[in-house]
Amino acid sequence: MLIDYVSLVGGLVVLIVAGDVLVRGSVGIAEKLGIPSLVIGLTIVAFGTSAPELVISIGAALDNAPGIAVGNVVGSNIANVLMVLGLPALVAATSCEEDGALRNAIFMMAVSIVFVAMCFFSPINWMSGVILLLLLALFIGDSVMATRKHRRENGIGRAARDLSASASLSAEKKEEEACAVVEEVEGVPENAALAFVFVALGLVGLPLGAHFTIEGATALARAWGVTEAVIGLTIVALGTSLPELATSLMAAIRNHSAVALGNVIGSNIFNLLAIMGITSVIVPLAIPPEILKLDLWVMLACALLVIAFSAFKVTLRHMAGIALVGLYGLYIAIVFMMGQIG
């Protein structure tokens, strides 16, 4: 059983490192090719930072472990709201007053409802995947047009370079905070050859890390007497959400805590539309019954919570952070209790 723990934890570490290396190398190549920073942010950075979730879901689906594939995304969206918003609030007050947050939070809720409806017509097939990807294209296109319009009207020479920031911040602050987020991507190789090496290492490391993560997760599910969905919803989901959590914590420490809400909204939209869309186009996804009973509804409740924070322009402080983290702990406990086999 020790080997299974090592496999799971080691696989998650490899996934996170490989995803980071892939982002650095891809950004380096894109900049050498003269690709606009806006396009880099909305495509390369967004896809790269979600690469761990993507390879986990595709790998699990191909290995006939849909509980991990779907649970990884649903659990990540829940963790993003309760943990990625909760923990930074323990460090610094997190404002939800940004213009545009409500509009994009409503879009996140709409996307969540569409996904939940698809789950009740399980399996989610390639046609559903195409619909999700078309919604993703709509979201990215809207973000690009909004940013370009702002640049024309205000003469600001920067471009928003991160999908999550462009999802929720007001026009001017959207660009400022997005640039701050991209600056967190340290160590971008200036040499083109080194950038290609980074990309190659990332592309090799991601499937390798996914393989060990899935192997360890399925083995531990059997050993603990719980379903694979439980492991996907909890350990795997929280593990693949660590980059978003680290970004939000660092932003809070540096007094840029407003970026946390944008990270959550953008990441949740991207998880549902890109990861579930691409995965279901490749292989049909059967939705585990236990996810239909509880977790999808918790995900919707979390989306509704984000709408409330945005609509009432709440500032999350210490007590709110404790409440959110406490709710996540309660959710994890209930998932394990409901997921016991036999």
- For 338, the token pair is 């409901």
Of the two residues 223 and 70, the one the predictor is more confident about is 70
240 near 72, Cβ under 8 Å? yes
The pLDDT score that the predictor gives to residue 162 is: 46
Range among 127-141, 156-170, 192-206, 212-226 with highest mean pLDDT value: 127-141
Residue 169 has pLDDT above 60, yes or no: no
Residue ranges and CATH numbers for the domains of the chain are 2-338 (1.20.1420.30)
Residue 264 has pLDDT above 90, yes or no: no
Instruction: Report the distance separating Cα 3 and Cα 180, nearest Å.
Output: 40
- For 168, the token pair is 């929720």
Q: Is the peptide bond before 243 cis (omega within 30 degrees of 0)?
A: no
Instruction: Report the distance separating Cα 267 and Cα 243, nearest Å.
Output: 11
What confidence tier does 248 reach under pLDDT thresholds 50, 70, 90? confident
Q: Calculate the alpha carbon distances from 338 to 249, 293, 319 in Å.
A: 31, 10, 28
Range among 10-24, 157-171, 247-261, 289-303 with highest mean pLDDT value: 289-303
Using only C-alpha atoms, what is the Rg of the chain? 19
The pLDDT score that the predictor gives to residue 262 is: 77
Instruction: Report the distance separating Cα 25 and Cα 47, nearest Å.
Output: 13
pLDDT tens-digit readout, 204-242: 888 888 888 888 888 887 788 888 888 889 888 888 887
- Of 83, 19, 80, 90, residue with least CA distance to 54: 19
82 near 316, Cβ under 8 Å? no
Close Cβ partners of 79 (under 8 Å, ≥ 6 residues apart): 237, 238, 241, 245, 328
The pLDDT score that the predictor gives to residue 77 is: 94
- Of 131, 148, 142, residue with least CA distance to 277: 131
CA atoms within 13 A on the CB side of 53: 33
Residue 184 has pLDDT above 60, yes or no: no
Instruction: Report the distance separating Cα 262 and Cα 184, nearest Å.
Output: 15
pLDDT tens-digit readout, 88-114: 888 888 888 766 778 889 999 999 999
How does the average pLDDT of the chain come out, rounded?
81
Of the two residues 249 and 72, the one the predictor is more confident about is 72
Strand, coil or helix: 226: strand
- For 320, the token pair is 């709110």
Task: Note if the pTM is more than 0.85.
Answer: no
**Stretch (H or E) spanning 71:** helix 66-82
